[in-house]
Amino acid sequence: MVKNRYKYTPRNLKELLIEMKDTSELMVDLAYSAMIYDDEDIAEEVMHLEETMDMLDYQIKIGAILSTRRIEEAEQLLGVLEVAAASEYIANAAMEISKCMLMDISIPDRLKVALRNANETIVKVRLNEESEMAGRKIGDLDLDVETGMWVIAIRRNAEWIYAPNGETSLRSGDVLIARGHDEGVPIFFQKATNKIYTPRKVIDYNEPAEFDRSIDIIVEMKNMCELSVGLAYSALLLNNKDIAHEVRAIEQHLDEMKYEVQDLVLEAASSAAEGEDLTDYKGLLIFASASEKISNAAADIADPVIREIGLHPIIALAVRESDEVIIKIEVADCSPIIGQTLKELRLETETGIHILAIKRETRWIYSVSGKIRIQENDVLIARGSHSGEVALIEMCSCPVDL
């Protein structure tokens, strides 16, 4: 008989669900960071975090089984287990991306550059000893509000600090990995290094048109799969079928995009010169597959809402208490942001908040671009930090006369 390598330790199911959600999302961010910066150490850390996810998955399953006494309780906990399983699927997709580094599967430079300019991007910097950030706690810096960037991991010598909180102090020489909107990268970079950020330029290698098109699609797939995860958690928090069905629609669209990438890569490979290295093409297929798997996981997260499974209260609590919260706020008819475009508001860099969707009267807007003007009574669905939530609430409220 094979001995179980995990030992069950009684823990609160809500805490386990929060940890699984946060860890899986961290793994995706680290996996992209490993690829963009050719960092095998980060890729190895993603693999280690998968062991943590396996342990958490075991703990939450055993805990759910021990918690049920009646069929009604079992039905509610079914939704909890579906969300936990989806987090595990997202973690597995992150592993696929990391394996590109560990298996020496090359990634085209132009894809690395393109991903830095995606809706949400990753930046890695070394903290300069003269930086205003050195020696201070993260919570005192308000980086999410001032730069729109969020420190998700710190490498200090050989040690890793994951999901640092407001009490975590930064030291000169720390390598910071941060996530956020691309507009915030230069601000964050300058704060950390005391240097002006210079975007990396891609060299034109004169690749086939099919190759270029596949890269464009993969970047769009990354943007859309991240949107689908945010919307899926929004659907859970709000128990909203409209949003859940949109997640399903995105999943179907990403399936089609994956097949398009496969066709384009095959066409490009078939026209390649004899003896040409085709490992870049393999990397593109892996990235397309990973994005599609993340969107599938998002659909699983939203599935309990569509099937009208009674949602256990801990699901909404877990979504609200995780590192990145889902926010729902209505724009007051006297708010100063009415009439301004999202681009003018610069919410990502001013508050660290990313708008996922807008409900305008009875219509939902999911393709949220910078050109959209805020109207009174718009309902904004967004994700971000707790401090960013406070800033957004202030912006959407009526001015206070002093």
pLDDT at 383: 87
Reported as half-sphere exposure (CB side, CA atoms, 13 A), residue 137 has a value of: 6
Neighbours of 11 (CB within 10 A): 14
What is the rounded distance in angstroms from the CA atom of residue 278 to the CA atom of residue 284?
10
Residue 220 carries which side chain, given as an amino acid letter?
E
Together in a domain, 283 and 374: no
In a domain, 149, yes or no: yes
| Mean pLDDT within 234-254 | 92
Residues 293 and 332 in one domain: no
Query: Is the domain of 41 the same as that of 99?
Result: yes
Q: Are residues 310 and 354 located together in one domain of the fold?
A: no
How many domains, in total, are found in the chain?
A: 3
Whether 100 and 120 share a structural domain:
no
* Final residue belonging to a domain, choices 262, 287, 316: 316
The C-alpha atoms of residue 375 and residue 3 are separated, in whole angstroms, by: 60
Average pLDDT (238-257) is 93
Residues 101 and 38 grouped into a single domain: yes
Contact between residue 381 and residue 387 where contact means Cβ atoms under 8 Å apart: no
**10 Å Cβ neighbour count for 214?**
27
Task: Give the per-residue pLDDT at 323.
Answer: 79
Cα–Cα distances in Å, from 74 out to 87, 220, 279, 312?
20, 38, 47, 10
The answer to whether residue 198 sits within a structural domain is no
Mean pLDDT of 233-253: 92
Residues 220 and 92 placed together within one structural domain of the fold: yes
Tell me if 349 is assigned to some domain: yes
Give the helix/strand (H/E) hosting 325. strand 325-330
Q: How many CB atoms lie within 10 A of CB 390?
A: 12
Q: What per-residue confidence (pLDDT) applies to 98?
A: 92
> What pLDDT is stored for residue 2 in this prediction?
47
Q: How far apart are CA 303 and CA 375, in angstroms?
A: 31
Mean pLDDT value across residues 248-252: 94
Q: Same domain, yes or no, for 226 and 371?
A: no
| pLDDT above 90 as % of the chain | 43
- Condensed to tens digits (0 to 9), the pLDDT of residues 200-213 reads 665 555 667 777 88
**pLDDT score for 1:** 44
Same domain, 88 and 122: no
In a domain, 381, yes or no: yes
Q: What is the pTM of this model?
A: 0.84
Q: What is residue 390's predicted lDDT score, i.e. its pLDDT?
A: 87
Say yes or no to pLDDT of 229 above 90. Answer: yes
Pick the more confident residue, 281 or 57: 57
Residue type, 262: Q
Q: What is the pLDDT of residue 171?
A: 94
How much is the pLDDT for 203? Answer: 55
Question: Which whole number is the average pLDDT over 119-136?
Answer: 89
Predicted pLDDT of residue 121? 83
Averaged pLDDT for residues 350-374 = 88
Report yes or no: 364 and 357 within 8 Å, Cβ to Cβ. Answer: yes
Q: Which of the residue ranges 24-33, 51-60, 304-313 would you say has the lowest mean pLDDT?
A: 304-313
Q: Which of 287, 286, 117, 284 is nearest to 211 (CA)?
A: 284
Is there a single domain that holds both residue 366 and residue 388? Answer: yes
In this predicted structure, what is the pLDDT of residue 202? Answer: 54
pLDDT above 70 covers a percentage of the chain that reads 94
What pLDDT is attached to residue 402? 53
Same domain, 342 and 370: yes
pLDDT tens per residue across span 376-392:
999 999 888 888 888 88
**Does position 146 have pLDDT exceeding 70, yes or no?**
yes
- What pLDDT is recorded for position 198? 82
Report, as an integer, the average pLDDT of 84-105. Answer: 91
pLDDT at 401: 64
Residue 368 has pLDDT above 70, yes or no: yes
Say which amino acid occupies 2.
V
Burial level of 381, CB count in 10 A (0-12/13-18/19+)?
buried
Cβ 335 vs Cβ 329: under 8 Å: no
What's the CA gap between 207 and 219, in Å, rounded? 17
309 and 292 in one domain? yes
* Residue where a domain stops, chosen among 287, 316, 345: 316
**Residue where a domain stops, chosen among 125, 160, 193:** 193
In this prediction, residues 184-188 reach a mean pLDDT of 88
Report pLDDT for 274.
65
**Alpha-carbon distance 215 to 115, whole Å?**
9
User: Which residue range(s) make up the domain with 120?
Assistant: 114-193
Q: CATH number, domain at 252? A: 1.20.58.220
In Å, how far are 240, 305, 354 from 247, measured between CA atoms? 11, 11, 17
- What is the DSSP annotation of 222-260? HHHHHHHHHHHHHHHHHT-HHHHHHHHHHHHHHHHHHHH
CATH number where 179 lies: 3.30.70.1450
pLDDT the model gives residue 182: 79
Q: How far apart are the C-alpha atoms of 97 and 115, rounded to whole Å?
A: 13
Average pLDDT value for residue range 169-186: 89
Per-residue pLDDT, 254: 95
